Structure 1
Amino acid sequence: MWPLWLLASLLALSQALPFEQKGFWDFTLDDGLPMLNDEEASGAETTSGVPDLDSLTPTFSAMCPFGCHCHLRVVQCSDLGQSRARGGMGARRHRPSLSALPRRHVSVLWDGHERALVLVNNKISKIHEKAFSPLRKLQKLYISKNHLVEIPPNLPSSLVELRIHDNRIRKVPKGVFSGLRNMNCIEMGGNPLENSGFEPGAFDGLKLNYLRISEAKLTGIPKDLPETLNELHLDHNKIQAIELEDLLRYSKLYRLGLGHNQIRMIENGSLSFLPTLRELHLDNNKLSRVPSGLPDLKLLQVVYLHTNNITKVGVNDFCPVGFGVKRAYYNGISLFNNPVPYWEVQPATFRCVTDRLAIQFGNYKK
């Protein structure tokens, strides 16, 4: 017979919720080496071959701005614009409000070797044009959930990742990303950006792998985005159609997110410019049929088409005619919540799908 305490423990575990990371930057406490420079990461001038983390940045920690958290080359100054209850007796401790980032705040308090700067969830509305000039090795800049009305000028040329979503940015001017040669990711969703807010040449010269402009006010795919994109996410906008020239430049895309828009029409031939596409999200739109051109995408594996107005699925809508044409079989096709009489769909329609569990159909319910 099992002890009562063990049974109680097992019951508690079975009802526990999935793990959820609470701290925005908690993962840096587990692994700081990626943020070190080459000499530090190689263990130079250490007897054991492993860098002494306690001796790397004593001066840096001593200069950590008030109210912030500093670990190795990471400066975390998030949530300084809020106040919260602390301790008993209803006591309140007001945390400092960070509403601007002047030049002196960076140049005096930090030593120029920081690899990550986190300023999330403050009230920053203005950043001095030379505020980032001392940060010559900065790789990650997170300034989301603030009150910025423009993209900060003169971003460090060493920058790899920029997250600036949930601000008040309405314009992406020409040249704002000039000088950035190592960019991997830009997240700028949650801003009131319209198509007219992108000046011609705004992304000129920028090499970028990942771009997300979700929850904005786009009515179409913006023009002249970086040709090097592997992922483009434009979900939760007001895009109504995909025209032939919209995807002409993005032959390297392997993931395209267009869910939660108002797309009614995808012009024939539009998808033919995406030969490397592996994942296509078109869920929660107003499509009345499966987009043409899917059978020609030899690497396509995942298609989200649920919650549209699709009334019919043809036998050749997904798979090419003939064997050996498609190089990767589908492992995910979602068609649920469409007015399709699924019992009328021929089994041969999904002849290039890995197995039947990869198809999500279900009944249409109003």
Structure 2
Amino acid sequence: MKGLLPLCLCVILCNALPFEQKGFWDFSMDDGLNMMQDEGSGIFPTPAVVPPDHDMPSMDLCPFGCHCHLRVVQCSDLGLTSVPKNIPKDTTLLDLQNNKITEIKKDDFKGLTKLYALVLVNNKISKINEKAFEPLQNLHKLYISKNNLEEIPRNLPNSLVELRIHENKIKKVPKDVFNGLKNMNCIEMGGNPLENGGIEPGAFDGLKLNYLRISEAKLSGIPKDLPNSLNELHLDNNKIQAIETEDLIRYSNLYRLGLGHNNIRVIENGSLTFMPSLRELHLDNNKLSKVPPGLPDLKFLQVVYLHSNNITQVGVNDFCPIGFGVKRINYHGISLFNNPVPYWEVQPATFRCVTDRLAIQFGNYRK
């Protein structure tokens, strides 16, 4: 049995303290998900994940081949082609990842009213009955990544807090697909062939998300109709070419923005000023020819990733404000390596608001 992944990822991410760089090379970790193991590695419940229940579990029956313990039913890596029958009614965590399930039928989860987390990662699911999730009145976590879904499931439980549906075949986010999901605060839907036109106006209306990732998609620009409650937005590995003045105007609560591995050439003046609480900015692996304007005005900005661009010079006031009393928090990390900038010409005063010299990474530029 493989190692098991924690279920409380979104809670950890969305309730975390402001980002503090522990080591500069943290940028090499996966954005926002470095606490999570590979989805195919399994899932292990902890007392913090399983809701408290003073009643003793009644796990008298266990589907053939599965492991049942403390209201947890693990049926991963069994070659199953359908959801097993006779799942105990008091199950709170059901693990069905790494199987060959192709369809979720209407009564597959009948009677599982206490189910808290459902893991369907890495199957072959292409069809989900629109009433399949109706019995799951207390479902908080739904992991259905790495399947063959062409659309987001309808009638998701109103209790849902976290949805992971990345690496499917989803091309569209309909206007009403998230209706009634007032508890949802984390959605991971990267790795789908989703374009800007596929996000219908109002698709995220009513959601108060803290975390959203639409990476490795086909976005050509920053979506303008996402929830304004977002604290983290990750749009890395898309086809975004520019950041225009009003692209970020509604995302004033962001403290982490991921735009690495795009084709960004231009960041218009004033476009970053709408994010006064920003702590961390990823713009690495783009096509920028200069340091983005407006960085000195971001009082709480701590980490900026600008490596692997086309930056040829760094001005003395590109990062730090002029005078005193403007920037409140010093930088913990600035990456500028793999840029054609002659670092020996950069004035030392350029980094006067950086914690120490080890927080600055230039390196050698080689073509």
Category of TM-score, reference length = shorter chain: 0.7 to 0.9
- C-alpha change, 1:140 and 1:70, in structure 2 (3 Å) is farther
**AA partner of residue 229 (structure 2):** T
**AA partner of residue 102 (structure 2):** S
Offset from partner CA, 1:209-231 (integer Å, 9 cap, x none): 00000100111111210000000
Identical aligned residues as a percent: 74
Task: Return the alpha-carbon distance in structure 1 between the equivalents of residues 315 and 80 of structure 2.
Answer: 55
- C-alpha change, 1:65 and 1:286, in structure 2 (3 Å) is farther
Question: In the alignment, is the contact (CA less than 8 A) between 2:316 and 2:350 conserved in 1?
Answer: yes
Offset from partner CA, 1:164-199 (integer Å, 9 cap, x none): 000000000001111111112100000000111000
| Alignment partner, residue 248 of structure 1 | 249
| Secondary structure of the structure 2 residue equivalent to 1:312 | coil
**AA partner of residue 263 (structure 1):** I
| Alignment partner, residue 227 of structure 1 | 228
- Aligned ranges 1:14-29 → 2 under 5 Å: 24-28=41-45
**Who wins on radius of gyration, i.e. which is larger?**
1
| Alignment partner, residue 35 of structure 1 | 50
| Secondary structure of the structure 2 residue equivalent to 1:311 | coil
Offset from partner CA, 1:267-303 (integer Å, 9 cap, x none): 1100000000000000000000000000000000000
| Secondary structure of the structure 2 residue equivalent to 1:348 | helix
| Secondary structure of the structure 2 residue equivalent to 1:56 | coil
Offset from partner CA, 1:143-167 (integer Å, 9 cap, x none): 0000000000011111110000000
Question: In the alignment, is the contact (CA less than 8 A) between 1:74 and 1:115 conserved in 2?
Answer: no
Task: Return the alpha-carbon distance in structure 1 between the equivalents of residues 64 and 99 of structure 2.
Answer: 8
The alpha-carbon deviation at position 78 of structure 1 amounts to: 4.7
Runs of 4+ in 1 over 3 A off after TM superposition: 19-27, 64-83
The alpha-carbon deviation at position 34 of structure 1 amounts to: 3.0
| Alignment partner, residue 327 of structure 2 | 326
Offset from partner CA, 1:321-365 (integer Å, 9 cap, x none): 112221110000000000000000000000000000000011111
| Secondary structure of the structure 2 residue equivalent to 1:273 | coil
| Alignment partner, residue 97 of structure 1 | 100
The alpha-carbon deviation at position 20 of structure 1 amounts to: 10
Question: In the alignment, is the contact (CA less than 8 A) between 1:189 and 1:213 conserved in 2?
Answer: yes
**AA partner of residue 233 (structure 2):** L
* TM-score normalised according to structure 1 size: 0.82
| Alignment partner, residue 184 of structure 2 | 183
Task: Return the alpha-carbon distance in structure 1 between the equivalents of residues 317 and 335 of structure 2.
Answer: 16
| Alignment partner, residue 305 of structure 1 | 306
* TM-score normalised according to structure 2 size: 0.81
When the two structures are aligned, how many residues end up with a matched partner? 316
- C-alpha change, 1:254 and 1:81, in structure 2 (3 Å) is farther
| Alignment partner, residue 118 of structure 2 | 117
| Secondary structure of the structure 1 residue equivalent to 2:118 | strand
**AA partner of residue 284 (structure 1):** N
Offset from partner CA, 1:99-143 (integer Å, 9 cap, x none): 000111111xx5211100000000000111110000000000000
Question: In the alignment, is the contact (CA less than 8 A) between 1:77 and 1:119 conserved in 2?
Answer: no
The alpha-carbon deviation at position 24 of structure 1 amounts to: 3.2
| Secondary structure of the structure 1 residue equivalent to 2:197 | helix
The alpha-carbon deviation at position 81 of structure 1 amounts to: 5.6
Task: Return the alpha-carbon distance in structure 2 between the equivalents of residues 103 and 296 of structure 1.
Answer: 54
Residue 57, structure 1, aligned to residue 57, structure 2: yes
Larger helix percent: 1
Offset from partner CA, 1:51-85 (integer Å, 9 cap, x none): xxxx73224x62x55555555455555556689xx
Question: In the alignment, is the contact (CA less than 8 A) between 1:165 and 1:190 conserved in 2?
Answer: yes
| Alignment partner, residue 290 of structure 1 | 291
Question: In the alignment, is the contact (CA less than 8 A) between 1:214 and 1:236 conserved in 2?
Answer: yes
- C-alpha change, 1:250 and 1:65, in structure 2 (3 Å) is farther
Q: Which runs of 5+ in 2 are unaligned?
A: 1-34, 82-97
**AA partner of residue 342 (structure 1):** Y
- C-alpha change, 1:20 and 1:132, in structure 2 (3 Å) is closer
Task: Return the alpha-carbon distance in structure 2 between the equivalents of residues 247 and 67 of structure 1.
Answer: 50
**AA partner of residue 58 (structure 1):** S
| Alignment partner, residue 90 of structure 1 | none
**AA partner of residue 297 (structure 1):** L
**AA partner of residue 208 (structure 2):** K
- C-alpha change, 1:79 and 1:127, in structure 2 (3 Å) is farther
Task: Return the alpha-carbon distance in structure 2 between the equivalents of residues 180 and 193 of structure 1.
Answer: 21
**AA partner of residue 258 (structure 1):** L
- C-alpha change, 1:239 and 1:96, in structure 2 (3 Å) is closer
Task: Return the alpha-carbon distance in structure 2 between the equivalents of residues 161 and 235 of structure 1.
Answer: 20
- C-alpha change, 1:142 and 1:73, in structure 2 (3 Å) is farther
Question: In the alignment, is the contact (CA less than 8 A) between 1:32 and 1:72 conserved in 2?
Answer: no
Task: Return the alpha-carbon distance in structure 2 between the equivalents of residues 264 and 303 of structure 1.
Answer: 17
Q: Which runs of 5+ in 1 are unaligned?
A: 1-18, 45-54, 84-94
- C-alpha change, 1:264 and 1:75, in structure 2 (3 Å) is farther
- C-alpha change, 1:174 and 1:320, in structure 2 (3 Å) is same
Question: In the alignment, is the contact (CA less than 8 A) between 2:141 and 2:162 conserved in 1?
Answer: yes
Task: Return the alpha-carbon distance in structure 1 between the equivalents of residues 202 and 78 of structure 2.
Answer: 35
Task: Return the alpha-carbon distance in structure 2 between the equivalents of residues 175 and 188 of structure 1.
Answer: 17
**RCO greater where, 1 or 2, for CA within 8 Å and sep 6 or more?**
2
| Alignment partner, residue 197 of structure 2 | 196
| Alignment partner, residue 267 of structure 1 | 268
**AA partner of residue 124 (structure 2):** K
